[in-house]
């Protein structure tokens, strides 16, 4: 499986960019010059099985070739695809939506149907509205029942977005366009009431002080593609903290910054802005592409995520399962961390705790959306062990 580098890259479920350069393959792994001291107080996480508020499971819609974004004709409809964004759907949503909206409007139609009310559907619909279109979303589930609502919520634009060597020559440039548009857009969501989008410190904690060159041989059937080198200006490098300058009871600590999405507040704001601008959301299930014939709109944007596998009979969409254990919110925990294959993101709606396995292959091709209690226990107990050794623990 993936090995140390992939595990560190996975911190907080994020890809290279989400890691702020602290655990990627390549140059970003080089230790930062010198050691710095932590300055802020670090509140301990109350990792206790009794503080679990819920456990959720979700499937990332992964395609080796990257998201499907082409245009096809079905009966009298022009269908613009926008699905299969793997572990990067929230992160790439504004950029992918911009490309999909451009394709949808290129024929001159201004009455547009969007299938799906997840991250991709809502952002694409908003962008279409901003371009002057009348938009109706048709979806089986609204946002909070959709898989998007069960995501970690970190900036991770190249997390399980494609397989190395399986994308078209143009894909890397399209990924960069999507990433830059999304990043720019997220900066306009910072500093709002409820913090729909915010920056937080992230710590990578290792029991052994292992440097480059300790990576075991990779036995994965393929590698996930990484594109972080295309946007070095969007990286926020991490620093090694000097021993004794922080309270973590481990051999090595790196601190970086990462952008995160507080999905409860963010998704509600997205939905209400769409509705206030005159958008409509109708509950509807489609069983085959031919069912689109019932729609009055001639242009349809397909944002059905993992649902596209069944709807479009697209078996190139492969599930990558992920389970989140939610601990009761701790507003004083204003950081996230990675420790022993467990990640934490502190959000307003709870502490998002995830066992991420030993690499990005963890959960690959697993379509089981039921809760695994052993996985939850492992994640919470790993944190409990860490914080039981925390100095002056006030658990």
Ligand X SMILES: Cc1cc2nc3c(=O)[nH]c(=O)nc-3n(C[C@H](O)[C@H](O)[C@H](O)COP(=O)(O)OP(=O)(O)OC[C@H]3O[C@@H](n4cnc5c(N)ncnc54)[C@H](O)[C@@H]3O)c2cc1C
Q: Does residue 350 belong to the site contacting ligand X (CB under 6 A)?
A: no
Q: Which stretch binds ligand X (CB under 6 A): 144-152, 210-218, 292-300, 380-388?
A: 144-152
- Residue 385's CB: how many other CB atoms inside 10 A? 13
Which residues in the 36-95 window bind ligand X by CB under 6 A?
58-61, 83, 85-91
Q: Which stretch binds ligand X (CB under 6 A): 106-114, 148-156, 205-213, 335-343?
A: 148-156
Q: Does residue 97 belong to the site contacting ligand X (CB under 6 A)?
A: no
Q: Is residue 67 within 8 Å of residue 85, measured between CB atoms?
A: yes
* Rg over CA atoms, the chain: 21
Q: Does residue 196 belong to the site contacting ligand X (CB under 6 A)?
A: no
**What does the longest C-alpha to C-alpha distance in the chain come to?**
68
Say how far apart CA 260 and CA 90 lie, in whole Å: 10
Say how far apart CA 271 and CA 148 lie, in whole Å: 13
Among 234, 270, 300, 311, binds ligand X (CB under 6 A): 311
In the complex with ligand X, the residue whose CB is nearer, 44 or 319, is: 319
In the complex with ligand X, the residue whose CB is nearer, 86 or 279, is: 86
Which H, E and C letters describe 69-123, residue by residue?
CCEEEECCEEEEECECCHHHHHHHHHHHHHHHHHHHHCCCCCEEEEECCCHHHHH
Buried/exposed 2-34: b ≥16 CB within 10 Å, e otherwise: bbbbbbbbbbbbbbbbbbbbbbbbeebbeeeee
In the complex with ligand X, the residue whose CB is nearer, 10 or 105, is: 10
Among 23, 45, 120, 225, binds ligand X (CB under 6 A): 120
Shortest separation between residue 80's beta carbon and ligand X, angstroms: 14
Q: Does residue 297 belong to the site contacting ligand X (CB under 6 A)?
A: no
Shortest separation between residue 251's beta carbon and ligand X, angstroms: 27
Find, among 354, 290, 346, 361, the residue nearest to 323 by Cα: 354
Q: Does residue 279 belong to the site contacting ligand X (CB under 6 A)?
A: no
CA pseudo-torsion sign 18, 22, 28, 32: positive
Q: Is residue 320 within 8 Å of residue 59, measured between CB atoms?
A: yes
Q: Which stretch binds ligand X (CB under 6 A): 145-153, 214-222, 225-233, 236-244?
A: 145-153
In the complex with ligand X, the residue whose CB is nearer, 98 or 241, is: 98
Q: Does residue 319 belong to the site contacting ligand X (CB under 6 A)?
A: no
Q: Is 211 exposed, middle or buried (0-12, 13-18, 19+ CB in 10 A)?
A: exposed
Say how far apart CA 269 and CA 271 lie, in whole Å: 5
In the complex with ligand X, the residue whose CB is nearer, 13 or 279, is: 13
In the complex with ligand X, the residue whose CB is nearer, 147 or 239, is: 147
The stretches of 17-75 forming alpha helices (DSSP H) are: none
Shortest separation between residue 237's beta carbon and ligand X, angstroms: 20
In the complex with ligand X, the residue whose CB is nearer, 115 or 342, is: 115
Shortest separation between residue 36's beta carbon and ligand X, angstroms: 27
Q: Does residue 100 belong to the site contacting ligand X (CB under 6 A)?
A: no
Q: Is residue 46 within 8 Å of residue 22, measured between CB atoms?
A: no
Q: Does residue 146 belong to the site contacting ligand X (CB under 6 A)?
A: yes
Q: Does residue 322 belong to the site contacting ligand X (CB under 6 A)?
A: yes
Q: Which stretch binds ligand X (CB under 6 A): 153-161, 170-178, 330-338, 365-373?
A: 153-161
Number of residues that bind ligand X (CB under 6 A): 41
Say how far apart CA 26 and CA 194 lie, in whole Å: 36
Which H, E and C letters describe 195-220, residue by residue?
CCEEEEEEEEEECCCCCCCCCCCCCC
Q: Does residue 312 belong to the site contacting ligand X (CB under 6 A)?
A: no
Among 139, 225, 253, 383, binds ligand X (CB under 6 A): 139
Among 116, 228, 336, 359, binds ligand X (CB under 6 A): 116
Among 324, 337, 342, 383, binds ligand X (CB under 6 A): 324
Shortest separation between residue 43's beta carbon and ligand X, angstroms: 22
- Helices 89-105 and 119-130 cross at an angle (nearest 10°) of 40
Chain residues in the site for ligand X (CB under 6 A): 13, 58-61, 83, 85-91, 115-121, 139-141, 146-148, 151-154, 156, 285-286, 303-307, 311, 322, 324
């Amino acid at each position: 499986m993936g090995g140390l580098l992939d595990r560190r890259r996975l911190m907080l479920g994020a890809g290279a960019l989400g890691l702020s350069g602290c655990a990627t393959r390549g140059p970003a792994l080089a230790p930062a010059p010198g050691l710095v001291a932590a300055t802020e107080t670090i509140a301990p996480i109350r990792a206790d099985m009794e503080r679990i508020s819920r456990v959720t499971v979700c499937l990332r819609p992964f395609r080796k070739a990257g998201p499907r974004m082409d245009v096809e004709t079905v009966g009298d409809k022009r269908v613009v695809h926008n699905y299969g964004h793997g572990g990067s759907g929230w992160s790439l949503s504004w950029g992918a939506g911009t490309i999909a909206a451009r394709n949808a409007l290129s024929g001159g139609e201004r009455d547009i149907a969007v299938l799906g009310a997840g991250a991709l559907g809502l952002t694409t619909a908003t962008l279409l509205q901003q371009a002057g279109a009348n938009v109706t979303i048709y979806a089986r589930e609204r946002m909070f029942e959709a898989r998007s609502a069960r995501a970690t919520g970190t900036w991770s634009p190249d997390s399980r977005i494609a397989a190395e060597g399986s994308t078209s020559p143009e894909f890397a440039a399209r990924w960069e366009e999507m990433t830059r548009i999304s990043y720019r857009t997220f900066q306009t969501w910072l500093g709002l009431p409820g913090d729909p989008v915010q920056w937080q410190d992230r710590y990578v904690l290792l029991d052994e002080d292992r440097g480059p060159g300790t990576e075991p041989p990779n036995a994965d059937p393929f590698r996930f593609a990484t594109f972080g080198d295309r946007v070095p200006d969007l990286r926020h490098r991490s620093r090694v903290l000097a021993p004794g300058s922080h309270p973590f009871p481990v051999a090595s600590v790196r601190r970086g910054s990462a952008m995160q999405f507080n999905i409860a507040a963010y998704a509600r704001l997205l939905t209400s802005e769409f509705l206030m601008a005159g958008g409509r959301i109708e509950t509807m299930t489609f069983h085959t592409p031919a069912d689109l014939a019932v729609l009055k709109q001639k242009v349809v944007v397909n944002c059905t995520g993992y649902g596209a596998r069944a709807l479009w009979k697209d078996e190139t969409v492969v599930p990558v399962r992920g389970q989140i254990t939610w601990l009761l919110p701790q507003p004083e925990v204003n950081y996230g961390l990675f420790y022993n294959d467990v990640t934490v993101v502190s959000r307003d709606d709870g502490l998002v705790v995830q066992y991420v396995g030993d690499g990005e292959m963890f959960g690959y091709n697993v379509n089981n959306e039921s809760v695994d209690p052993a996985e939850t226990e492992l994640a919470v107990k790993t944190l409990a062990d860490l914080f039981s050794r925390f100095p002056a623990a006030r658990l």
